[in-house]
């Protein structure tokens, strides 16, 4: 019988990838790269099985050939993962081993005997393209969307796989990562270039304090303007967050930033450019001058 | 040994449209230089040390982009369809890389629009892939690669061939001047045909509108009115 694999190498995206897999029409199995706590969290989503590959002493990418060999033996009809850097590296090896068709920005996968139908976002999410294959498929699931409900917890098996000896971790540099509250924050206020002058950050801080929110930023405000430390950046290849409320101020909605925040339950945007792409991605938006909106919003929240 | 820097290999996603017939179309008919390409070239140059660096690109537009940034020879791949799927792109690039003598490292942009092409390229070459790379340097015969890792970074020793997918942190700060660009256009470019045979692909069906609900947008010309509506909406969502 056909089955689906999900690859999980981060703590943010498993529930969403599992949701897509659980609606595929085929049982799904999880391959988790990391530690026992990550595996337990995935197991609680109700996959048919979970295999944990402990990467405390090795690099998950170094396991890719061995995981591809397992895929060749078990022949999953589809392999799903998020756009996490490590998961993608492993998925590439699997795709080549299986001679699989590959798609990104995938929103749904339907597996039936002899055919897999994949839907993916195209044209800046303006449309959904339908793809079919009679062979295996490897899919990068689009950010955002529903998360799998908790199911009957699967037992976690420990996987063993030979690792390439050409890759060795020398050091992990994460000064301040442990104290970063962004990853677990219920509410986050995000700042983009449209905030204007640096003095306006005081308005942002006051709003964040009223909300009880953490403050995040887009990459240019850290790397080009040095207004924030790097651990405040969310987006591609930095951090992904999934607060209940993400309120973004003066951000255009560049994909590099949105990749990091699509896990938020409710996205609110304030921007003076009505054509900004952020207004196609948010649940609520205000088209207006952030400097005028923020003080009014802060006062309203304090009085709420 | 030779390091390959891959640049200008992906379409610009802002050019992607869906026509009235439901088919995906591209406003431009060729790949464009990507946001990460300058960083990939820099990583290739840093990793190569005294070794050679060869550029690989799609044969359209500015094939001298790499030459203007220090690459001496460039291989331009001809005939890749603008609607090529990730496996076809990776196959074309892999075959071009295999045609370069003595390659032991490939640096390519970690393109957000084509997130699987670097790892597919690595798979086709039989090499490991490291994504989200910041930098690379030679230290005592070893290649040390720094990649983004959560909110921090991770240093990895690479002892053997590999594909590094490089994610630029910022726009290029020191772009080459006109003189360097003109000199670059005289550097050698070898043109090769794309080889994509055997790449597994999807059959493309139609398109339909997404299910996503439209955003609710308030007019901020009256800040108080807009904020009142927003706060009411957020209360109803249960997030305030």
A16-29 as b/e: b if 16+ CB within 10 A: bbbbbbbebebebb
Q: Which pLDDT value is given to residue A11? A: 84
Non-local CB neighbours of A127 within 8 Å, separated by 6+ positions: A121, B18, B22, B24, B207, B208, B209, B210
CB-CB under 8 Å, B233 with A128: no
This complex has an ipTM of 0.92
CA distance A271 to chain B (A): 9
Q: How far is B188 from chain A (nearest CA, A)?
A: 32
Whole-model pTM? 0.88
Alpha helices in chain B (DSSP H): 37-48, 86-98, 117-125, 178-184, 223-237
Calculate ∠ Cα A220-B168-B30, nearest 5°: 110
Q: Test B130 with A131 for CB contact under 8 angstroms.
A: no
Maximum Cα–Cα distance across chain B: 67
Mutate to test the interface with B, among A60, A123, A135, A141 (most CBs of B within 10 A): A123
Rounded CA separation B19/B26 (Å): 10
pLDDT of residue B90: 98
For the domain made up of B2-193, the CATH class stated in words is alpha beta
* pLDDT confidence of residue B213: 67
Closest by CA to A268, choosing from B85, B43, B7, B229, is B229
Which residue among A100, A122, A304 sits closest to B24, beta carbon to beta carbon? A122
Assign a CATH topology to domain A4-158. Rossmann fold (3.40.50)
Provide the CATH topology of domain A177-303.
Answer: Rossmann fold (3.40.50)
The pLDDT assigned to B212 comes to 65
Helix/strand/coil (H, E, C) string of A238-291? CCCCCCCEEEEECCCCCHHHHCCCCCCCEEEEEECCCCCCHHHHCCEEEECCHH
Phi, psi (rounded to 5 degrees) for B71: -85, 135
Residues of chain B with pLDDT under 70: 212-213
Q: What is the spatial distance between Cα A301 and Cα A207, in angstroms, rounded to a whole number?
A: 8
Would you write out chain A's pLDDT as a tens digit for each of its 304 residues?
699 999 999 988 899 999 999 999 999 999 999 999 999 999 999 999 999 999 998 999 999 999 999 999 999 999 999 999 999 999 999 999 999 999 999 999 999 988 999 999 998 788 999 999 999 999 999 987 788 888 888 999 999 999 999 999 999 987 656 556 888 899 999 999 999 999 999 999 999 999 999 999 998 898 888 999 888 988 876 788 889 999 999 999 888 788 889 888 899 999 999 989 899 889 999 999 999 999 999 999 998 7
Q: Quote the DSSP letter at residue A163.
A: P
Interface of A with B in 226-265 (CB under 8 A): 230-231, 236-239, 244-245, 255-256, 259, 265
């Amino acid at each position: 019988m056909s089955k689906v694999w999900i690859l999980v190498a981060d703590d943010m995206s498993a529930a969403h990838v599992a949701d897509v897999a659980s609606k595929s029409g085929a049982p799904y199995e999880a391959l988790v790269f990391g530690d026992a706590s990550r595996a337990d969290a995935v197991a609680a989503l109700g996959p048919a099985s979970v295999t944990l590959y402990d990467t405390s002493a090795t690099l998950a990418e170094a396991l890719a050939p061995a995981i591809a060999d397992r895929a060749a033996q078990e022949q999953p009809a589809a392999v799903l993962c998020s756009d996490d850097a490590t998961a993608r590296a492993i998925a590439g090896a699997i795709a080549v081993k299986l001679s699989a068709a590959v798609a990104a920005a995938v929103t749904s996968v339907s597996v039936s005997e002899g055919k897999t139908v994949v839907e993916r976002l195209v044209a800046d999410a303006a449309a959904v393209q339908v793809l079919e294959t009679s062979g295996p498929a490897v899919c990068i699931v689009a950010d955002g969307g529903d998360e799998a409900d908790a199911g009957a917890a699967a037992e976690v098996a420990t996987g063993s796989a030979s690792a390439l000896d050409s890759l060795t971790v020398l050091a992990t540099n994460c000064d301040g990562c442990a104290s970063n509250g962004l990853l677990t924050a219920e509410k986050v206020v995000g700042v983009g270039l449209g905030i204007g002058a640096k003095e306006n950050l005081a308005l942002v801080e006051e709003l964040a304090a009223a909300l009880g929110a953490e403050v995040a930023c887009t990459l240019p405000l850290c790397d080009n303007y040095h207004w924030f430390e790097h651990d405040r950046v969310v987006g591609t290849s930095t951090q992904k967050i999934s607060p209940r409320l993400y309120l973004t101020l003066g951000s255009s909605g560049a994909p590099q930033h949105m990749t990091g925040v699509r896990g938020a339950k409710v996205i609110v945007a304030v921007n003076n450019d009505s054509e900004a792409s952020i207004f196609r991605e948010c649940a609520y938006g205000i088209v207006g001058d952030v400097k005028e909106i923020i003080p009014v919003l802060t006062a309203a929240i304090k009085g709420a | 040994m030779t390091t390959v820097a891959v640049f200008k290999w992906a379409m610009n996603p802002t050019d992607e449209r869906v026509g009235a017939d439901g088919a995906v179309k591209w406003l431009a008919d060729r790949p464009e230089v990507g946001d990460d390409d300058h960083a990939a070239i820099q990583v290739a140059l840093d990793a190569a040390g005294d070794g050679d660096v060869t550029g690989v690109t799609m044969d359209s537009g500015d094939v001298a982009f790499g030459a203007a940034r220090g690459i001496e020879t460039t291989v331009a791949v001809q005939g890749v369809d603008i609607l090529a799927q990730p496996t076809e792109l990776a196959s074309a690039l892999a075959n071009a890389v295999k045609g370069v003598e003595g390659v032991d490292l490939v640096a390519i942009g970690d393109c957000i629009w084509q997130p699987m092409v670097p790892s597919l390229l690595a798979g086709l070459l039989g090499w490991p892939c490291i994504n989200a790379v910041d930098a690379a340097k030679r230290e005592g015969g070893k290649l040390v690669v720094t990649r983004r890792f959560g909110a921090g970074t991770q240093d990895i020793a690479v002892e053997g061939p590999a594909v590094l997918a490089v994610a630029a942190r910022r726009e290029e700060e020191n772009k080459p001047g006109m003189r360097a660009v003109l000199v670059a256009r005289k550097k050698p470019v070898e043109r090769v045909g794309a080889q994509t045979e055997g790449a597994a692909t999807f059959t493309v069906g139609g398109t339909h509108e997404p299910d996503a609900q439209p955003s609710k947008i308030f007019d901020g010309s009256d800040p108080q009115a807009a904020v009142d509506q927003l706060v009411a909406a957020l209360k109803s969502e249960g997030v305030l």
